[in-house]
Amino acid sequence: MRIHKETINKLPLGTLKILAIALLLITLLTLTLSKEPGAALSAIFFGSFSNSYSFGNFINSSVPIILCGLGILIALKANLMNLGGEGQVYFSAFIVTMTSLSLEKLGLFGAIIGLLAGGIAGGAIAGFSAFLFNKWKTNVMITTYLVSAFFVSITDYLITNTFHNPATNLLSTKQIPSSQWLHTILAPSALNTSLIYAIFACFVIRYFLYKTLTGYEMRMVGSNIQFARYGGIHNRSITIKALFLSGFFHGLAGGFIVLGTYHAALRGFTGGIGWSGLSVALIAGGSPLATIPASLFFAWLQSGATIAMQQSDVTSELAEIAQGAVFLLITSNVLLKGRNKNV
């Protein structure tokens, strides 16, 4: 089950081919399924650019995907698969909301502590799977998935029962005070300063992976475990660090969704993000900076499909199918090698 280095490190041309196949698929599906394919297609492809509101929301929805992509990428570098992004984001978002609310008096500083608490919560959830793997070789993929599914249910419960805000019709917690909100960049859309932090995080991760000792060790363990052992790298502590960091970034994603966009934890509001993070990390091909365009691609597809659902007769799940198609093909050596010749 090793996700070999060659399959994660790839050059953009082949990736572009795969993305083009996904777009072709979405076009063909719309042509067959829709009664007004012209309107549906123009909503999917151009809807996100039609006004500043849609554009801002489209860019804003890429922020948590970038952070989840980074989280998956770190785990992949150490040859670990984190399938629990969903629960890590969701539970952390809840923790960030609750911590920020209880530190209401500290204002923005309270929100920063909240964000850290969320990151640590996400890291602990993912780190638990690393602990199980180190101790008893329990399959990381299955445990990350199961632990995450458990936390999704728990968070559902906490949001709708224990910490439910009866003042609203939504299934949500109390809202955090506006002193803790991140600044909006493009009103009236939800785009906010978390975009800058997410881009900054990409550079931090690039520095971490390629310029620090721990980052080097992580890549060594991921690419050649035997060699790493001979070099005296502690495989076990690397597993813990990689999965903790992976969960930490998922936690930050959850935190930014709360502080920047929703200002509260809503039932099921992060649904599907785990998949997006995985797809982005695979498309980015192991490069932290490439998670930015990869996230923009999926954010564009998802917001376009949502707009198409509002304005036309197709459902937003078209984006899910396109994302699935990318997933299906993204490790293809045949499609990716073609561009090797060109370079």
Task: Look up residue 111 and give its two tokens.
Answer: 């929100």
**H/E run at residue 21:** helix 12-33
Residue 262 beta carbon to other proteins: minimum distance, rounded to whole angstroms: 20
50 scored as a contact of other proteins (CB under 8 A): no
Q: Which of 154, 171, 186, 199 binds other proteins (CB under 8 A)?
A: 154
User: How many residues are present in the chain?
Assistant: 343
Q: Closer to other proteins at the Cβ: 61 or 100?
A: 61
Q: By CB under 8 A, what part of segment 205-234 binds other proteins? A: none
Residue 331 beta carbon to other proteins: minimum distance, rounded to whole angstroms: 4
Q: Which of 54, 82, 143, 180 binds other proteins (CB under 8 A)?
A: 143
Q: Closer to other proteins at the Cβ: 36 or 156?
A: 156
What x-and-dash track marks residues 277-296 binding other proteins by CB under 8 A? -x---x--------------
185 scored as a contact of other proteins (CB under 8 A): no
Rounded Cα distance, 159 and 223, in Å: 41
What x-and-dash track marks residues 79-108 binding other proteins by CB under 8 A? ----x-------------------------
Q: By CB under 8 A, what part of segment 295-314 binds other proteins? A: 314
Asked if 69 and 277 count as a contact pair (C-beta separation under 8 A), the reply is yes
Q: Which of 125, 126, 266, 330 binds other proteins (CB under 8 A)?
A: 330
Q: Which of 11, 13, 29, 186 binds other proteins (CB under 8 A)?
A: 29
Asked if 176 and 264 count as a contact pair (C-beta separation under 8 A), the reply is yes
33 scored as a contact of other proteins (CB under 8 A): yes
Residues in CB range of 22: below 8 A, 6 or more apart = 301, 322, 323, 325, 326
**What does the buried/exposed string (b/e) look like for 226-251 if buried means 16 or more CB atoms within 10 Å of the residue's CB?**
eebeeeebeeeebbbbbbbbbbbbbb
Residue of 72, 68, 111 whose CA lies nearest to 271: 68
**Residue spans of alpha helices (H) in 257-316:** 273-284, 291-311
Rounded Cα distance, 52 and 282, in Å: 30
Binding range to other proteins, per CB under 8 A, among 3-11, 47-55, 103-111, 192-200: 3-11
Residue 12 beta carbon to other proteins: minimum distance, rounded to whole angstroms: 18
* Residue 27 exposed, middle or buried by CB count within 10 Å (0-12, 13-18, 19+): middle
Asked if 185 and 119 count as a contact pair (C-beta separation under 8 A), the reply is no
Asked if 280 and 72 count as a contact pair (C-beta separation under 8 A), the reply is yes
Q: Which residues pair with 184 in a beta bridge?
A: 192
149 scored as a contact of other proteins (CB under 8 A): yes
Residue 156 beta carbon to other proteins: minimum distance, rounded to whole angstroms: 5
Residue 292 beta carbon to other proteins: minimum distance, rounded to whole angstroms: 22
Asked if 72 and 281 count as a contact pair (C-beta separation under 8 A), the reply is yes
Q: Closer to other proteins at the Cβ: 116 or 146?
A: 146
Task: Look up residue 96 and give its two tokens.
Answer: 């960030």
Binding site for other proteins (CB under 8 A): 1-4, 7, 29, 33, 83, 132, 136-139, 141-143, 145-147, 149-150, 152-154, 156-157, 160-161, 275, 278, 282, 314-315, 317-318, 320-321, 323-325, 327-335
